[in-house]
């Protein structure tokens, strides 16, 4: 899996830790591949009954690695990023996933908690946001309908259109989080949830997860429409300009095309 994530098994729980601290756990192509490898192992290992995904105590993830994205776009202006699909971010994990979130949880990091997690615990330092609009990156993977499903419409618009972050306390109040705990208790709280789940029949737990996912996933038509609009955005000049401006540490010059 490489060094971009740390994969551990403790008793019946797999612990997946994002491991790019110098880059604030920004998601690059190597992280995407490592996550895919981790999900495959989780799904294939019958001894694993639950998963904890975390970024550690300082930061969960600041999102897509925009430096890498700018370099990719300079060579492939309209091509899809490799592994640019929901399953990369855990949509296909069969076991219950507990997200332990501390610090910034933005963009692709937020997406990971949206698609993979069944239970979400955060420390008081956690902040959630989708800064894509500020860098000209269209929100892919059906993010708008998923956010509108998980948050009140007014809050989803704040996150997506205004690019604002929300606190752990607000995310819990809106029903996105199960619990907010002190940073030092985050891992133990996640492990307590995992230990409780591990006591039950993995067959029954797995079946319940299938049903819950079936009844809570957004309308497929809405997801398809969202992805189609996103694809159009990826062919724009603004899509190239945003990450390039970020990489060059300047304000973007939007052209609206």
Specify the CATH architecture of the domain 5-182: Alpha-Beta Complex (3.90)
pLDDT tens, residue by residue, 174-224? 999 999 999 999 999 999 999 999 999 999 999 999 999 999 988 889 888
pLDDT tens, residue by residue, 133-159? 888 888 877 889 999 999 999 999 999
pLDDT at 77: 65
pLDDT at 176: 97
**Residues written for the chain:** 257
pLDDT-above-70 percentage for the chain: 96
Range 48-68 average pLDDT: 94
Q: What confidence category does residue 245 fall into, taking pLDDT thresholds of 50, 70 and 90?
A: confident
**Position 69 pLDDT exceeds 80:** no
Q: Which range is least confidently modeled, 37-51, 162-176, 199-213, 236-250?
A: 236-250
**Position 20 pLDDT exceeds 90:** yes
Residue-range domain boundaries for the chain = 5-182
**Position 238 pLDDT exceeds 90:** no
Handedness of CA 98, 115, 130, 176 (dihedral sign): negative
pLDDT tens, residue by residue, 82-105? 788 899 999 999 999 999 999 999
Q: Report pTM.
A: 0.91
Name the phi and psi angles at 38, rounded to 5: -65, -45
Range 35-42 average pLDDT: 97
E-strand stretches of the chain? 5-10, 13-18, 50-54, 97-101, 104-106, 119-123, 127-129, 166-167, 179-181
Q: What confidence category does residue 257 fall into, taking pLDDT thresholds of 50, 70 and 90?
A: confident
Q: What confidence category does residue 246 fall into, taking pLDDT thresholds of 50, 70 and 90?
A: confident
**Position 1 pLDDT exceeds 70:** no
Tokens in use for 123?
């420390």
**Position 75 pLDDT exceeds 80:** no
- How many separate helices (H) and strands (E) can be counted in the chain? 10, 9
């Amino acid at each position: 899996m490489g060094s971009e994530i740390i994969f551990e098994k403790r008793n019946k729980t797999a612990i997946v830790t994002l491991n790019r601290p110098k880059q604030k756990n920004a998601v690059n192509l190597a992280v995407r591949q490592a996550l895919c490898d981790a999900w495959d192992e989780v799904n294939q290992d019958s001894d694993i009954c639950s998963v904890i995904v975390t970024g550690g105590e300082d930061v969960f993830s600041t999102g897509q690695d925009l430096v890498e994205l700018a370099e990719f776009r300079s060579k492939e202006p309209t091509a899809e990023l490799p592994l640019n699909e929901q399953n990369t971010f855990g949509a296909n994990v069969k076991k219950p996933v507990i997200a332990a979130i501390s610090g910034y949880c933005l963009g692709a990091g937020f997406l990971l908690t949206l698609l993979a997690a069944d239970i979400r615990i955060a420390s008081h330092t956690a902040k959630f946001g989708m800064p894509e609009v500020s860098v000209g990156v269209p929100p892919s993977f059906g993010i708008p309908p998923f956010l509108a499903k998980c948050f009140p419409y007014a809050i989803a618009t704040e996150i997506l259109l205004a690019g604002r972050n929300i606190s752990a306390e607000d995310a819990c109040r809106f029903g996105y989080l199960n619990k907010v705990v002190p940073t030092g208790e985050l891992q133990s709280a996640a492990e307590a949830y995992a230990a409780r789940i591990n006591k039950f029949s993995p067959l029954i737990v797995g079946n319940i997860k299938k049903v819950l996912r079936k009844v809570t996933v957004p309308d497929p038509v809405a997801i398809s429409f969202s992805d189609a609009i996103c694809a159009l955005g990826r062919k724009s000049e603004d899509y190239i300009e945003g990450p390039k401006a970020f990489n060059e540490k300047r304000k973007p010059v939007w052209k609206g095309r």
